[in-house]
Amino acid sequence: MNLPSLVGAMSLRAKLATLNAAVAAALLLLAMLAWQSSSDQDVAQARQVRLAEALHLNKQADMVHDALRSDVLASLLIGQVPQLAQEDVLRHVADDAQELEDALDRLSTFTELPAELIEQVRRNRSAARAYGQSALELARQALDRREAALAALPAFDGQFRHLVGELEQQGAQIGEALREAQLMAAREATRARRSLVWTCVITIGVASAIVALMTLAIRRRLGELCSVAQAIADGDLTRRASTGRSDELGALGAAVDRMAGSLNTMIDDMRREARLAAFGQRLSDALDMADREHQVCTVAARAMGEVSAAHPMELLISDSSRAQMERVAEHPGAGSPGCGVRSPYDCVAVRRGTAVTFDSSADLHACEHLRGRACGTASAVCVPVTFMGRALGVLHAAGTPERPLSPAQAQQITVMGGQLGMRIGTVRAFERTQIQAATDTLTGLPNRRTLEQRLRALVASGQPHAVVMCDLDHFKLLNDRYGHATGDAALRVFSEVLRDTLGDGDLAGRWGGEEFTLLLAQADALAAQRTVDAIRHQLAAALRGGRVPLYTASFGIADASMSSRPEELVQLADMALYQAKAAGRDCARIADPATLAMLGKDARRRDDPTGDTGIDTSIDTVTAEAW
């Protein structure tokens, strides 16, 4: 394994520890080198100091040597110079002799001096000792025998000159040694500085190389993480950064991978939700165009095919009584799963008010209606179909335990159930509203608005038809005598008679008050006359039961041959009705088209039957008597 690979295999903690160790080692090396250089300089400086001290001692010895000769010469002048005392001179000679010997003794102990120089110092010390003894003897001799001392003086001067030469030579050698020590110290300082500089350069270079290797490895790893993070940010959620390493960068890579996984999961969820929302929107758009319940069922079947091509599905919806459910839609390809539920509250999904999933019909908690099917063991999803909290039915989808509906398909089924319930409930409510708007609440027959729309449609179609105006005779007297409840019952009995008597293509409705209108399709005035006779007969039979007091009705008939305008047909039938009233009631009259010319500007006012209607006076008189 090469160095880059070895560094790359190191953990981030190990890399940082290596960096710290490299810096610490560099600092330690520099400290050691500085200490060593300082020590060498201290040694060189100490040697210089010692050599300077040796030079000083040598000069001191030379001075003492000169002073000793002066003391000897002074001893020769005792007696001639009054100020000179014999004891003082002898003491000075002895002291100087001893100081000279001590100086040379100390100088001989300087190990910093060269060996040959130390040997010379020792010889000079012996010579100085002899010179001191000679000076002391000569001084003593000068006190007793001055002439003998003067005779020995030349020999003493020879010793003096010899010692002077030795001390000068010795001082020169010490001075040379001092200069060499100074030069050596300067060279040592230069060498120390140079070594320190080179050591710094090498240490910094090595440390920089280590730092560079570690930094490169860290940057390479961070670059890989950055590349993966950028790829994830650009939408590539399949990229992963984890390499199985347990260091800090490995933990960071694992965190990036977890983030990518979470983003992938979140985006998958958003895509599923978007697909579900798109499915729900398409279903909603399709249901918005379904104005009848059978159209809603057709949309439901198509939606089943879009949810799954292989899973059987069915929509079971209850009738208006909510007592029975019937299959109103099934999968266009896979067919119906054949659920045996017959009423809404037999279904557990309806009772719970939420979608229910069964993994297998063999499970203990499986629905009983799922067991025993011809297909064998089955799985199922059941979604209640409700409208404003009221159960309408159930949306049922089945599969096998091995191939159940996916969670996404189950969600689509749930959306279907909610929207189908909303649309079916809305359609039914709208149909009830239409029926209520078109129906008279008391009798249950179509109201005047519905009759007018149907009459205009018949006239526009050009088909033969007849219009019959009906009015209960003496209805005001019946109301006044028996009360309004009896009057309402009489209106309901008459309505039942009309419903039982008219054919499928005919329409009977309440025009207002106690007045009714019949629209007879494919009929002329004579056919309408026969229908009126049947109604009168049925009314008489219905009143025999004693439900309400006996009453009769009058009828006016007009047909399409008399006019092509709806309002004129109604006016003709209305005028014929007044003729029947004038004829004694409980009868029918067919309108005469010629009477249209007799119509005035205003229609007849029923609240004031004696008013001017523009109709023949004889008819008005009879009408007034009839009312």
**Structure-derived torsion over alpha carbons of residues 127, 132, 134, 136, reported in degrees to the nearest 10:** -170
If one counts every other C-beta atom within 10 angstroms of the C-beta of residue 300, the result is 29
Lowest mean pLDDT among 38-52, 243-257, 271-285, 570-584: 243-257
* Predicted confidence (pLDDT) per residue in 319-357, tens digit: 766 668 899 999 999 999 988 888 888 888 888 889 999
- Please give the pLDDT value at position 604: 42
Q: Using pLDDT thresholds of 50, 70 and 90, give the confidence band for residue 605.
A: very low
d(CA 200, CA 188): 18
pLDDT reported for residue 9 = 63
* Residue predicted with more confidence, 419 or 196: 419
pLDDT 10s digits, 405-437: 999 999 999 999 999 999 998 988 887 777 777
Give the pLDDT band of residue 623 (cuts 50, 70, 90).
very low
Section 14-40 average pLDDT: 75
Higher pLDDT, 81 or 19: 19
What pLDDT score was predicted for residue 608? 41
Distance CA 180, CA 51 (A): 10
Q: 67: pLDDT confidence band, cut at 50, 70 and 90?
A: confident
Question: Residue 147, exposed/middle/buried by CB under 10 A (0-12, 13-18, 19+)?
Answer: exposed
pLDDT tens digits along 383-412? 999 998 888 899 999 999 889 999 999 999
For the chain, the structural domain boundaries read 3-220, 289-437, 441-626
Ramachandran quadrant class, 533 (left: phi over 0; alpha: psi -120 to 50; beta: rest): alpha
For the beta carbon of residue 165, count every other beta carbon within 10 angstroms.
10
Residue 41 scores a pLDDT above 80: no
Range with top average pLDDT, 367-381, 493-507, 583-597:
493-507
Question: Taking a C-beta distance cutoff of 8 angstroms, is the pair 328, 304 a contact?
Answer: no
Residue range 441-626, CATH number: 3.30.70.270
Q: Which two tokens stand for residue 188?
A: 């040592």
The pLDDT assigned to 622 comes to 34
pTM across the whole model = 0.53
To the nearest 10 degrees (0 to 180), the angle between helices 12-76 and 146-233 is 170
DSSP 8-state code for residue 446: B
- Asked if the model's pLDDT at residue 619 lies above 50, the reply is no
Report the alpha-carbon distance of residue 412 to residue 61 in Å, rounded.
122
pLDDT band at 17 (very low <50, low <70, confident <90, very high): confident
Residue-level pLDDT at 321: 62
Q: List the beta bridge partners of residue 554.
A: 471
What values do phi and psi take at 315, rounded to 5? -115, 115
Give the span between the Cα atoms of 535 and 542, in whole angstroms: 10
Q: SS3 string of 50-114?
A: HHHHHHHHHHHHHHHHHHHHHHHHHHHCECCECCCCHHHHHHHHHHHHHHHHHHHHHHHCCCCCC
CATH entry, 289-437, from 3.30.70.600, 2.60.420.10, 3.30.450.40, 3.40.50.620: 3.30.450.40
pLDDT per position as a tens digit, 553-566 = 999 999 999 999 99
Angle at 69 between CA 64 and CA 71, to 5 degrees: 90
Cβ pair 555, 540 in contact under 8 A:
no
Query: How, if at all, do strands 313-318 and 325-330 pair?
Result: antiparallel
Of 234 and 360, more confident: 360
Q: Is 265 left (phi over 0), alpha (psi -120 to 50) or beta?
A: alpha
Q: Which of 405, 387, 408, 389 is nearest to 397 (CA)?
A: 405
Average pLDDT, the chain: 84
- For 101-121, how does the pLDDT look when each residue is reduced to its tens digit (9 = 90+)? 888 888 888 888 888 888 888
Higher pLDDT, 545 or 613: 545
Beta bridge partners of 449: none
Q: How many CA atoms lie within 13 A of 598 on its CB side?
A: 18
Residue 42, pLDDT score: 78
